[in-house]
Amino acid sequence: MKLFRLTLLAAALSPLALSSAMAQNTNKLKVGLMLPYTGTFAALGNAIENGFRLHVMEQGGKLGGREIEFVKVDDESDPAKATDNVNKLIKRDNVDVLIGTVHSGVAMAMAKVAKDTGTLLIVPNAGADAVTGPMCAPNIFRSSFSNWQPGYAMGEVVAKKGHKKVVTITWKYAAGDESVRGFKESFEKGGGKVVKELSLPFPNVEFQALLTEIAATKPDAVYTFFAGGGAVKFVKDYAGAGLKKTIPLYGAGFLTDGTLEAQGADADGLETALHYADSLGTKRDNEFRLAYAKTFKLQPDVYAVQGYDAAQMLAAGLKGVKGDTSKKAEFAAAVEATKIDSPRGPFTVSKAHNPVQDIYLRKVVGKENTLVSVASKGLADPARGCKM
Ligand code: PHB
- Is the pLDDT at 105 greater than 50? The verdict is yes
| Residues 125 and 226 grouped into a single domain | no
What letter represents residue 71's amino acid?
Answer: V
End position of a domain, from candidates 247, 274, 301: 274
| Residues 285 and 137 grouped into a single domain | yes
User: How many other C-beta atoms lie within 10 A of the C-beta of residue 60?
Assistant: 8
Q: What is the pLDDT of residues 261-282, one digit of tens each?
A: 999 999 999 999 999 999 899 9
The answer to whether residue 298 is domain-embedded is yes
pLDDT at 24: 87
- Is the pLDDT at 162 greater than 70? The verdict is yes
Q: Which domain holds residue 332?
A: 24-145+279-353
| Residues 102 and 249 grouped into a single domain | no
| Residues 100 and 160 grouped into a single domain | no
The answer to whether residue 8 is domain-embedded is no
Kindly report the CATH number assigned to the domain that includes residue 110. Answer: 3.40.50.2300
pLDDT at 16: 45
Question: Rounded mean pLDDT of 123-141?
Answer: 98
The answer to whether residue 85 is domain-embedded is yes
Residue 94, classified by CB atoms within 10 Å of its CB into exposed (0-12), middle (13-18) or buried (19+), is exposed
The DSSP output letter for 340 is: B
| Residues 139 and 153 grouped into a single domain | no
The answer to whether residue 300 is domain-embedded is yes
Q: What is the 3-state secondary structure (H, E, C) of 14-44?
A: HHHHHHCCCCCCCCCEEEEEEECCCCCCHHH
| Residues 34 and 115 grouped into a single domain | yes
Overall number of domains in the chain = 2
Average pLDDT, the chain: 95
Pocket of ligand 1, candidates 34, 41, 132: which has the most ligand atoms within 8 Å of its Cβ, to mutate?
41
| Residues 137 and 77 grouped into a single domain | yes
Centre of ligand 1 from the C-alpha of residue 286, in Å: 25
Rounded Cα gap, residues 359 and 377, in angstroms? 6
Tell how strand 97-99 and strand 271-274 pair up: unpaired
The answer to whether residue 325 is domain-embedded is yes
- Is the pLDDT at 18 greater than 90? The verdict is no
pLDDT at 21: 54
pLDDT at 279: 86
pLDDT at 26: 86
Pocket of ligand 1 (CB under 6 A): 41, 102-104, 125-128, 147, 175, 227, 254
- Is the pLDDT at 13 greater than 90? The verdict is no
Question: Rounded mean pLDDT of 79-100?
Answer: 98
